Amino acid sequence: MKKEAPLIDFCKKCGSIMLPEKKRMKCRSCGYSIKKTTKELKLVEKKQTKKPVVVLEKDSIVLPITDKECEKCSNPRSYYWMQQTRSADEPPTQFFRCTKCKHVWREYK
């Protein structure tokens, strides 16, 4: 039984896909080419449109604020969040971040 050649070839230098160009197969990345013809090769390329990323504010924080005084600058307001830092049967750790100086500290329950 005769072994058929694969329809798609990959570049031996960089591994990118080889595309048919006249009577050669040429790498789209590095330009490496080999002499080879393909009888049936249909290449369909779809371009994906990237949605633009909109940045509203450079330093936007979406954490709740509480009346916890900062240990460092004595600012009366701070952001807070809870995170499970130990095993599941232990209570979560509560973190605070000062709204003024950005100092972060934690409290264990």
Per-residue confidence of the chain (109 residues) as pLDDT tens digits?
555 555 677 888 888 888 877 778 888 888 888 887 666 666 677 777 788 877 766 666 678 999 999 999 999 999 999 988 888 888 889 999 999 999 999 987 7
Report yes or no on 79 lying in a domain.
yes
pTM: 0.45
- Domain range for residue 26? 9-41
Residue 104: CATH number of its domain: 2.20.25.10
User: 60 in a domain, yes or no?
Assistant: no
Neighbours of 80 (CB within 10 A): 15
For the chain, the C-alpha Rg in angstroms (whole number) is: 30
Nearest-angstrom CA–CA distance, 19 and 17: 6
Does the residue 47 lie in any domain?
A: no
Are 37 and 72 members of one domain?
A: no
Residue 101 domain flag: yes
What total number of domains does the chain contain? Answer: 2
55 in any annotated domain: no
Catalytic residue list: 89-90
Same domain, 71 and 103: yes
| Residue 80 maps to a domain | yes
